């Protein structure tokens, strides 16, 4: 895209709800135009779909994240649910709850997701991931997305939830259909059906754990009291579903983006491999670079302003992390991958009261991939055409042919 193209760019003509918009072009220069010309932009309505606000700057998103009194999450946290009339799990699932209910649910789940509680799982993640990388490199390569990235997060979150190994492939397939697709003919009805099947699966699992508790997160939720009352079974089911969604696809797509970046930025791969950059810093930069969740949504609870722009009660506001994580006000040379970047104030995990519960686990999983590649292989090479995920929410690769040379 040339400077002339950008100068003539019609922001109102860009349909951010269409996955093809995100699939077919590099939007980094487009987001620069949003930040420069219209940092709080009214995305036009279309037939059968309301308009909504697009917030593109890092500082404005941070303000909205912090202000949970004026910007609520119970109607939904992504465009598909917000434009579809709201999230049926609102107020019952921690990711779409506000106020005291969110605080209480978050407190329960943090008991299982604190760094101290997860340290044992983090070591298991490292061992499992390094074993997968050894096998993958020895086999001469393949599809990294399917053979490594798809296995690590689903194994980890299912271990935490106590999902039997025999059911994990089915849940992975359903979760992919529920949130994204490789097929442009995939419809919202297909996604809803997949979500319903996941809900039915967890309904059966919660019923089983209620009768015969274990030491997993499902059993913890099923036996937890809030205000002297056990969580209703359906609320337990919804939170299990939310943990699966949050803990699986975001890490999977971060891994694919990270490995693609190492294959296409050889200088950064050499910095990692030589030890010139710390794995912790490299992990955060890869998460910024990947930005696996492109946007999150809020609903305006009372008339307010964002960066001087009035927004009305009931309006839908979308915070485009894809833009915030490339904001030149915050990141020097933001379109360059810099594995030693510090500080790194990215918003990939959100900000404020709804800061991601699984941040420790996500860093452990992606860090395990980077550490394993650093210690176990000498080259990371693309070996064929890649395929990006077809989504207006998730960002990453659903097919990633990579060859690894064992060290």
Positions in the chain short of pLDDT 50: 1-4
Sign for the pseudo-dihedral over CA of 122, 127, 133, 135:
negative
Q: How many residues does the chain have?
A: 407
Structural tokens at position 139: 């086999």
Where are the strands (E) in 44-155, listed by range? 52-55, 71-72, 142-143
Predicted confidence at residue 332, as pLDDT, reads 97
CA angle 243, 74, 17 (to 5 degrees): 80
349-391: pLDDT as tens digits: 999 999 999 999 999 999 999 999 999 999 999 999 999 999 9
Predicted confidence at residue 186, as pLDDT, reads 64
CA 375 and chain centroid, separation: 27
Provide the whole-model pTM: 0.93
**Could you tell me the CA-to-CA distances from 390 to 191, 250, 361 in Å, in that order?**
12, 14, 25
Predicted confidence at residue 8, as pLDDT, reads 75
Cis bond before residue 343 (omega within 30° of 0): yes
Pairing of strands 309-311, 387-388: unpaired
How many Cβ atoms sit within 10 Å of the Cβ of residue 17? 14
Structure letter (DSSP) for residue 214: -
The half-sphere exposure of 51 on its side-chain side, counting CA atoms within 13 A, is 12
Predicted confidence at residue 4, as pLDDT, reads 46
Say how far apart CA 324 and CA 218 lie, in whole Å. Answer: 35
Say how far apart CA 156 and CA 57 lie, in whole Å. Answer: 34
Q: Phi, psi at residue 254, to the nearest 5°? A: -65, -40
């Amino acid at each position: 895209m040339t400077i002339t193209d950008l100068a003539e760019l019609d922001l109102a003509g860009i349909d951010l709800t269409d996955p093809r918009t995100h699939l077919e072009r590099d939007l980094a220069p487009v987001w620069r135009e949003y930040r420069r010309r219209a940092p709080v932009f009214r995305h036009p309505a279309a037939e059968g779909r309301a308009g909504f606000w697009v917030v593109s700057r890092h500082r404005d998103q941070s303000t909205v994240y912090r202000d949970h009194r004026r910007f609520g999450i119970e109607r939904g946290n992504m465009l598909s649910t917000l434009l579809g009339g709201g999230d049926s799990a609102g107020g019952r699932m921690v990711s779409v709850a506000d106020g005291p209910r969110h605080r209480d649910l978050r407190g329960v789940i943090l008991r299982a997701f604190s760094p101290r509680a997860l340290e044992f799982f983090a070591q298991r993640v490292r061992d499992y991931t390094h074993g997968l990388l050894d096998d993958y490199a020895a086999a001469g390569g393949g599809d990294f997305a399917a053979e490594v990235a798809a296995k690590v997060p689903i194994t980890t979150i299912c271990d935490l939830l106590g999902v039997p190994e025999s059911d994990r492939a089915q849940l992975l397939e359903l979760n992919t259909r529920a949130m994204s697709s490789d097929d442009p003919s995939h419809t919202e009805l297909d996604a809803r059906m997949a979500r319903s099947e996941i809900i039915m699966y967890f309904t059966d699992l919660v019923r089983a754990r209620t009768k015969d508790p274990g030491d997993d997160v499902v059993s913890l939720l099923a036996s937890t009291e809030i205000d002297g009352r056990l969580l209703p079974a359906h609320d337990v089911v919804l939170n299990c579903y939310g943990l699966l969604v949050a803990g699986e696809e975001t890490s999977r797509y971060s891994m694919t983006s990270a490995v693609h970046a190492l294959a296409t930025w050889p200088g950064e791969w050499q910095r990692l491999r030589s030890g010139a950059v710390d794995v912790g810093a490299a992990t955060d930069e890869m998460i910024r670079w990947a930005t696996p969740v492109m946007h999150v949504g809020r609903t305006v609870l009372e008339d307010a302003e964002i960066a001087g722009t009035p927004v009305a009660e009931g309006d839908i506001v979308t915070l485009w992390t894809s833009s915030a994580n490339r904001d030149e006000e915050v990141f020097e040379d933001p379109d360059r991958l810099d594995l030693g970047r510090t500080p790194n104030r990215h918003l990939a995990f959100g900000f404020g009261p709804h800061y991601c519960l699984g941040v420790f686990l996500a860093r452990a999983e992606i860090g395990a991939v980077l550490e394993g590649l650093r210690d176990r292989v000498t080259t990371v090479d693309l070996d064929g055409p890649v395929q990006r995920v077809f989504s207006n929410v998730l960002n990453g690769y659903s097919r990633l042919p990579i060859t690894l040379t064992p060290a």
